[in-house]
Amino acid sequence: MKVRFAGFGGQGIVLCGVVFGQAAMLDGKRSIQTQSYGSASRGGLTRSDVCIQADEIYDLLYEEIDVLVAMSQQSCDAFLPGLLPAGHLFYESDMVTPNAEWSGHSLGINATDLAFKQLGRKVVANMIMMGFVNGALGLVSHDALVATVKQKVPPGTGALNIEALGLGIDHARAARAT
Amino acid sequence: MLETTLAPAEIADLYLRSLGGTEHFIQGDEAAAMGALFAGCTFFGGYPITPASEIAEVMSRELPLIDGHYVQFEDELASISAVIGAAWAGARSMTATSGPGFSLMQENIGYAVMTETPCVIVNVQRSGPSTGQATLPAQGDVMQARWGTHGDHEIIALSPSTVQECFDLAIRCFNLAEEFRTPVIFLMDGEIGHVRDKTVFPSIGEVTRFPRRKGTEGQDAFGGETIPPMLEFGDGCFVHVTGSTHQDNGMRDVQTSTVHDRLVRRLVRKIDEARDRIAMVEVDVMDGAKTGVLAYGATARPALGAVLQARAAGAKVSFIRPITIWPFPGSQIAAACDGLDRLIVPEMNLGQVNREVERYVDCEVIHFGKIGGEIHSSAEIRAEIERANR
């Protein structure tokens, strides 16, 4: 399973890939993570790729992806052509309008707005998105995801980040129910 | 610094013991830095450069915790100089850089060779020449690692293909540096330096550290035996260290041809004679195979993937991965290539290791170079295998 988190620098995109990669490792799977490097990850178009599978991983770079999580229009436009037809698109619905040509699975969530209005901090939008994606696809176990987030976020912000993660999971459940 | 009655080495062991036996999802650069710490590195002198900066970052964070020293210098010339000085003062010392910085360090890498200074120089290779593609990986410094500094010499260089190997081989680099009293190049690449993967830290008791052999007052520190003992600064012994040609006792003698001949031949011999012991080569030979793939560093990963895909489709293909790059493990590679008609060598350069391979093997060597900052995919290498098999 090849997952690409993409957006603009500052949205916490790199962290998303690192968290899923580490959580998959805790689940006993093989996983690797790569990311765009340099000034792009600090303001421009940025991506964080994670590959998760049961057996050894040989390729470090790939064009085709199974899941695209787009947090900006630019990133959706840039990477949607690489999403496999049977793949899944997740997008920040206030910021992204997927290309009309995409006819595969897609699920949107207004993660940034929810983060600000319900949790008071826009910065946890990435956590809402991570919960949303994992709630829909179950890429990693819930326990591993929570444990990794707690370890990776700055001291004192664990509760807020876990709450944001839970909010995303709830929205995925609601989306499934409809 | 904490007030303590513990010796620095005990502080370090106590700290590293707390990390032992744990698994981490970290970058190759971070793994290399942690490997260096487990190897007993207590001094890092460097100037940050992409894609090696994370090594400096980890060392600046960790070394103060174990009573070690992290110094960021004004440039790479000062960095390598300080690394050499720290080694003579008793430290296991290192620096980490990339192409442009590695170029600047060349003169003093030669000084480390000539003065038989154990130290580790990490080069996380990026796309050159010059500033090139600063953030993107390459494998263009293989020959520079061998011949970058001037004059007759041998050098040791290792190249990791996984993040775990970044950790494990960093330890081996330090041990080889001590065993052979020589600078060792840890030849990483930007791809393996930046990918995150699972890495397991061993318990500190499982790590073997080659102890530095020290001499006593009056003993020759630059001759008398193939690898003489060191006389460190501060031990109270008289020692004269010079990059100029010197006698067995270290005193300068640049006029006597036999002195130079004896010294430089010994510097070459101490590594050349041990090349089989230094050689690390992963060999996965398939009976009846006429095609082989030889790859190293990050490129070895998609290369192995391609070989396994080809085998799953019924092709017979051998796989060879030199881990030791210098001294070149030619005889091991020649033996692994016995019976092959052709050997494909994918590299992120326009031809370096393939030329060295050609010196040792009887079969056709097909170079499959890729530059521009992107590593090969397994599909690309598999297509090359199929083309060669036609």
- Is A33 an 8 Å CB contact of chain B? yes
Tokens of B237: 């012994």
Q: What is the pLDDT of residue B2?
A: 47
Q: Search chain B and give the residue with CA nearest A62.
A: B377
Mean pLDDT of B305-325: 98
> pTM for the full model?
0.96
Out of A18, A57, A61, closest to residue B374 by CB? A61
Secondary structure letter of residue A30 according to DSSP:
E
CA dist., res. A151 & res. A19, Å (int): 9
How many Å apart are CA B99 and CA B127, to the nearest integer? 8
What chain A residue is nearest to B51 in terms of C-alpha separation?
A37
**Of A155, A167, A169, A8, nearest to A79 (Cα)?**
A8
Q: What is the pLDDT of residue A36?
A: 82
Could you give phi then psi for residue B74, rounded to 5 degrees?
-75, -20
| Dihedral sign for Cα atoms in the order A144, A145, A146, A147 | positive
Residues of A in contact with B375 (CB under 8 A): 60-61
Q: d(Cα B170, Cα B157) in Å, to the nearest integer?
A: 11
- Predicted local confidence at residue A172, as pLDDT: 97
Which residues does residue B44 pair with via DSSP β-bridges, in sequence order? B70, B94
Q: Mutation target for A interface from B161, B162, B195: give the one with most A CBs within 10 A.
A: B195
Q: What is the pLDDT of residue B159?
A: 98
The predicted-structure confidence for B21-53, as pLDDT tens digits, reads as follows 899 999 999 999 999 999 999 999 999 999 999
Task: Outline where chain B has alpha helix (H).
Answer: 8-19, 28-38, 53-62, 76-88, 99-114, 142-147, 163-180, 190-194, 257-272, 275-278, 300-312, 330-336, 353-358, 378-389
CA distance A24 to chain B (A): 10
Question: If you ran DSSP here, which 8-state letter would residue B235 be given?
Answer: S
> Coil, strand or helix: which one is B98?
coil
Is B196 close to A61, i.e. CB distance below 8 A?
no
Dump pLDDT digits (tens) for B248-295.
999 999 999 999 999 999 999 999 999 999 999 999 999 999 999 999
Please write the tens of the pLDDT for every residue from A90-135: 999 999 999 999 999 999 999 999 999 999 999 999 999 999 999 9
Report d(CA A62, CA B55) in Å as an integer. 26
Chain A: residue whose CA lies nearest to B25: A22
The CATH class, in words, for B8-206 is alpha beta
Q: DSSP characters for B252-320? A: B--S-HHHHHHHHHHHHHHHHTTHHHH--EEEE--TT--EEEE--GGGHHHHHHHHHHHHHTT--EEEE
B8-206 against B280-389: fold identical: yes
Which residues are CB-neighbours of B383 under 8 A, at least 6 positions away?
Answer: none
List the one residue out of B327, B223, B313, B235 whose CA is nearest residue B280: B327
pLDDT of residue B57: 98
Candidates A60, A64, A140, A151: best to mutate against B (most CBs of B within 10 A) is A60
Distance CA B25, CA B31 (A): 9
Q: Which amino acid is at B316?
A: K
Q: Does B263 touch chain A (CB under 8 A)?
A: no
Residue B3: is its pLDDT beyond 90? no
How much is the pLDDT for A39?
A: 65
Give the bridge partners for B343, in sequence order: B292, B365
d(CA B368, CA B5): 58
Query: Which residues of A are less than 8 Å from B195 in CB distance?
Result: 32-34, 60
Helical axes B53-62 vs B28-38, angle rounded to 10°? 40
* Cα–Cα distance, B336 to B379 (Å, whole number): 24
**For residue range B339-378, what is the model confidence (pLDDT) as tens digits?**
999 999 999 999 999 999 999 999 999 999 999 999 999 9
Identify the architecture of domain B280-389 in CATH. 3-Layer(aba) Sandwich (3.40)
Closest listed residue to residue B321, CA positions, set B349, B289, B290, B298? B298
Give the residue among B376, B148, B115 at the shortest CA–CA distance from B241.
Answer: B115
- The C-alpha atoms of residue B90 and residue A122 are separated, in whole angstroms, by 51
Residue B316 and residue B333: Cα distance in Å, rounded?
A: 18
Cβ distance B135 to A25 less than 8 Å, yes or no, reads no
DSSP E strand stretches across A36-131: 45-53, 65-70, 83-92, 105-109
The C-alpha atoms of residue B119 and residue B183 are separated, in whole angstroms, by 5
The mean of the pLDDT values for chain B is 96
Question: Any chain A CB within 8 A of the CB of B197?
Answer: yes
Amino acid identity of residue B310, one-letter, is A
A61/B298 Cβ within 8 A: no
**Residues 6+ positions from B159 with CB-CB distance below 8 Å:** B187, B188, B189, B296, B297, B322, B323, B325
User: Quick check: B50 and A35 CB within 8 A?
Assistant: no
Q: Count Cβ atoms below 10 Å from residue A43 Cβ, excluding itself.
A: 10
pLDDT tens digit sequence for B137-147: 999 999 999 99
Q: Given CA atoms B88, B89, B93, B99 in this order, what sign does their dihedral have?
A: negative
What are the residue ranges spanned by the domains of chain B? Answer: 8-206, 280-389
- Measured CA to CA in angstroms, residue B334 lies from B247, B283, B287, B340 at distances of 38, 11, 16, 10
Chain B residues whose beta carbon lies within 8 Å of the beta carbon of residue A60: 191, 195, 298, 301-302, 375
Contacts of B371 (CB under 8 A, 6+ apart): B127, B138, B140, B348, B349, B350
Burial of B173 per CB tally in 10 Å (0-12, 13-18, 19+): buried
Statement: residue B1 has pLDDT above 70: no
Short-list B134, B66, B65, B68, CA closest to B97: B134
Structure tokens at A74: 């630019």
Fold of the CATH domain A2-177 = Pyruvate-ferredoxin Oxidoreductase; domain 3 (3.40.920)
User: Measured between CB atoms, does A46 come within 8 Å of chain B?
Assistant: no
Q: What is the mean pLDDT of each run of 10 residues along chain A (178 residues)?
A: 94 96 98 83 85 97 94 96 97 96 95 97 97 98 97 95 97 89
Distance from CA of B374 to the nearest CA of A (A): 8
CA distances from A16 to A13, A27, B142 (A): 5, 17, 35
* End-to-end Cα spacing for chain A: 26
- For residues B236-254, average pLDDT: 96
Our CA-based measurement puts residue A34 at a distance from the nearest CA of chain B, in whole angstroms, of: 5
Q: Residues B78-105: pLDDT tens digits?
A: 999 999 999 999 999 999 999 999 999 9
Of B196, B198, B375, the CB nearest to A61: B375
Q: What is the ipTM score, two decimals?
A: 0.95
Does A147 contact B at CB distance below 8 Å?
Answer: no
